[in-house]
Amino acid sequence: MRPPLPGPAGDPPSGAEDFIAFINGTLRPWVQNTVFPSVTFTRDALYGHSFGGVFVVYALITYPGMFDTYLAATPTMIWNNGSLLEEVTRRWGTACLQEPVLKCVNETGTGATAKKPAVFITYGSAEQFPQRRRTETELAFQERKALWQSFKQTEVTHELFYRIQASQRTRDVTLKEYIGQDHAGVASSTIGDGIGYFVDW
């Protein structure tokens, strides 16, 4: 579910807002009331990998109080020429007050008050700088390396981290690099470490 593109509404349709509404209005109540009816929920987290990580970043800057923790596993921030990076700065460019409660003004000028979220962002060192595989030909390796280097995952993930950190709109933002891991491997590693990050906060 990609974030909305600049331009005429619904051209093409995004789906991100509908998916957020489904998570918040249908999925979350079902999990809390039907799957775990005897559990009292006080916190929850949103996780996404790759393009799902882009969705997590969009949800974070649009609805920062909806989840306690946002886990973005190697988000593909080059999407749409890096427009979501610019959106982070556009919406969150002015730091909030240094308090445990989020007191900001959103893009429409409406005040919002909520607990500041925690954010965990990850990427793999072998994404932008892949190593040749044991059975891979030199030609195949060069083609794969050129493709993955074009995504600039190390660069854009660091840029995302710095922009969120500079906004001061989170109670914590952590960036983790998985040495030697590629794009797919980061997905499972982030789930394991993300649970620990969530529980620790």
Q: How confident is the model at residue 115 (pLDDT cuts 50, 70, 90)?
A: confident
Helix (H, G, I), strand (E, B) or coil at 116: coil
Q: How confident is the model at residue 80 (pLDDT cuts 50, 70, 90)?
A: confident
Structure confidence by residue, pLDDT tens digits, 145-199: 999 889 899 999 999 999 999 999 999 999 999 999 999 999 999 999 999 999 9
Which tokens go with 129? 């700088």
For residues 112 and 17, what is the distance between their CA atoms, to the nearest angstrom?
Answer: 19
Q: Give pLDDT, residue 121.
A: 98
Query: Among the listed ranges 46-50, 100-104, 122-126, 156-160, which one has the minimum average pLDDT value?
Result: 100-104
Could you state, in order of their start, the residue ranges of all structural domains in the chain? 11-41, 43-200
Structure confidence by residue, pLDDT tens digits, 13-68: 678 999 999 999 999 999 999 999 999 999 999 999 999 999 999 999 999 999 99
In 3D space, the residue among 100, 50, 92, 53 whose CA is nearest the CA of residue 72 turns out to be: 53
Higher pLDDT, residue 96 or 66: 66
Q: Give pLDDT, residue 109.
A: 37
Q: Residues 81-91, buried b or exposed e (16+ Cβ, 10 A)?
A: eeebbebbeeb
Q: What is the reported pTM? A: 0.84
Which tokens go with 116? 């500041």
Query: Domain 43-200, CATH 3.40.50 — does that match?
Result: yes
